[in-house]
Amino acid sequence: MYSEFIETLFVTGKLAVATTILLFIIGLPVSYMLAFARFRLKILLEALISMPMVLPPTVMGYYLLVAFSPQNGFGKFLEHYFDLRLAFTFEGILIASVVFGLPFMIQPLQNGLMSLPESLREVSYTLGKSKTKTFFRVLLPNIKPSIITGIAMTFAHCIGEFGVVLMVGGDIPGVTRMASIAIYDQAQALNYTVANRYSLILFLISFVLLTIIFSVNKRHKV
Amino acid sequence: MKTSFIKKSLILSVALTVFSFMSAQKVRVAAAANLHYALEQIKKQYEHEHPNTTVEITYGASGTLIQQILNGAPYDFFMAADKDFPLKLQAKGATTGPIRTYAFGRLVMWSSETDLSKGLNSVLLPTVKRIAIANPTGAPYGEAADAVLKKYGLYDKVANKIVWGENISQTAQFAFSGNAEIGFIALSLALAPQMKGKGKYYVIPATMSAPIEQSCVLVKGWERNGEAARFMQYILSAKCNAIWEEYGYTK
């Protein structure tokens, strides 16, 4: 029982860390583009990225389950060419949580970049710095609170994920069983002691992360 | 003159609606997920015979349902997928009256594409990458599947292929959607109109996995609703036999 407890927490942490890293890498160029580029249909892209904030996770779970199925186009393609099946795998829930975490990373980054004075970029360009250099050396260091917020929000949200993982995860111990699912299982089996232990840990992690976000934002506002 | 007529008819219609609501009876049933299709038919038949009664059914894993009942969910009647869960509920003092068995259900293997002619050993076929089983802690059909695989020494050979459904319906859906090649589900689901003809099933012989005794019990507090007891009697009566049979249950 005890090792299963640790194992489940480990899977949860692994998913949250992997999701956060991937989303940070994806989030940087996307938020830069959304903040500074002008193109048609930008509003549609923004709306699409924000969808997970309002969409029931089960909608996403349903679409993924259908997409992953080897009976359908995408799933068949993966199985045929890559011998890969995403339903009930760690990679599968990782994809799900990356997609579902998009707004939690991108919105803070985008807002941070947009709040910087335009002169900052212009001065850097005038001094002969390239766009990439300006982005990494000038812009990013100036939106540290947004970066911290994005990372903490993504991590916290990922730990709290339930619906999608329940639908496409398959509840495999040590692979796709997350703490949030384990709480549900244990409560169902009337093991309140274990459910309590998981719940307390998730409560504390979320509380600490949100406290960090709030304190960072407060300090930088003044 | 005209307005008073409208007023009167309005009052009358409101009064009639209120009256019909007061006389309408409601039975709230917590039912194991394997009952999904059969019980919907029984409900239809019952409501047809008792036009003033509505039967509200919530489906889920037996474990989920007793969890809800113990935490005060307002159900009158509990139909489990085995006998243990009603007994557990009784032990916690949450029931009244006797526990009665309403049907015996059978465990089957279901697949949309895999050849099941080798029986239980089909789980060893190389084409089988995922096997869906309902979570044994909450779902008796999952428990039965888990037990039969262990009994015949197959469990360890396929352990890394097993995915756990939250209840038997989700398990069926894993197999139905093709995300798992084989699903261990209830015969009643394999015979459901939604799944019929979409795949093959193999009934695990009774000698290997005994038919699952499914029992029901009235939930404490049902007394405020006399209709619940009548519905329980109906479930146990011969009037439902044809439906049970249609979905592969035996009495």
pLDDT for res B73? 85
Tell me: pLDDT of B222 over 80. Answer: no
Cα of A69 to nearest chain B Cα, Å: 5
Separation of alpha carbons A23 and A92, rounded Å: 15
Flag whether the ipTM exceeds 0.90. Answer: no
Tell me: pLDDT of B22 over 70. Answer: no
Which residue is closest to A172 within chain B, CA to CA?
B163
Phi, psi of A67 (to 5 degrees): -65, -40
pLDDT for res A1? 52
Tell me: pLDDT of A76 over 90. Answer: no
Indicate the domain borders of chain B.
26-104+212-246, 107-203
pLDDT tens track for B163-196? 999 999 999 999 999 999 999 999 999 999 888 8
Instruction: Say whether B135 and A172 touch across the interface (CB within 8 A).
Output: no
Instruction: Say whether A189 and B137 touch across the interface (CB within 8 A).
Output: yes
Tell me: pLDDT of B154 over 90. Answer: yes
pLDDT for res A170? 83
Share of chain A above pLDDT 90, in %: 64
Q: If pLDDT is split at 50, 70 and 90, which confidence band does A222 have? A: very low
Instruction: Say whether B64 and A69 touch across the interface (CB within 8 A).
Output: no
Q: If pLDDT is split at 50, 70 and 90, which confidence band does A85 have? A: confident
Residue-range domains of chain A with CATH: 2-221 (1.10.3720.10)
Which residue is closest to B132 within chain A, CA to CA?
A170
- Model pTM? 0.80
| Chain B interface disruption, residue of A167, A175, A188, most B CBs within 10 A | A188
**Between B150 and A73, residue with greater pLDDT:** B150
Residue B90 forms contact with A (CB below 8 Å): no
pLDDT for res A21? 97
* Radius of gyration, CA atoms only, chain A: 20
Q: If pLDDT is split at 50, 70 and 90, which confidence band does B14 have? A: low
- Domain B26-104+212-246 sits in which CATH superfamily? Periplasmic binding protein-like II (3.40.190.10)
pLDDT tens track for A150-169? 999 999 999 988 989 988 88
Tell me: pLDDT of B134 over 50. Answer: yes
Question: What mean pLDDT is predicted for residues B112-117?
Answer: 92
pLDDT tens track for B190-213? 999 888 888 999 999 999 999 999
A–B CB contacts, 8 A cutoff, strictly below: 58
Tell me: pLDDT of B18 over 60. Answer: no
Question: What mean pLDDT is predicted for residues B110-136?
Answer: 94
pLDDT for res B16? 54
Which residue is closest to A166 within chain B, CA to CA?
B166
- Domain B107-203 sits in which CATH superfamily? Periplasmic binding protein-like II (3.40.190.10)
Which residue is closest to A84 within chain B, CA to CA?
B129
Contact assessment for residue A178 and residue A111, using Cβ atoms and an 8 Å cutoff: no
Question: What mean pLDDT is predicted for residues B42-66?
Answer: 92
Cα of B62 to nearest chain A Cα, Å: 9
| Chain A interface disruption, residue of B127, B179, B182, most A CBs within 10 A | B179
Question: What mean pLDDT is predicted for residues B221-228?
Answer: 78
Tell me: pLDDT of A174 over 60. Answer: yes
Instruction: Say whether B138 and A189 touch across the interface (CB within 8 A).
Output: yes
pLDDT tens track for B76-88? 999 999 999 999 9
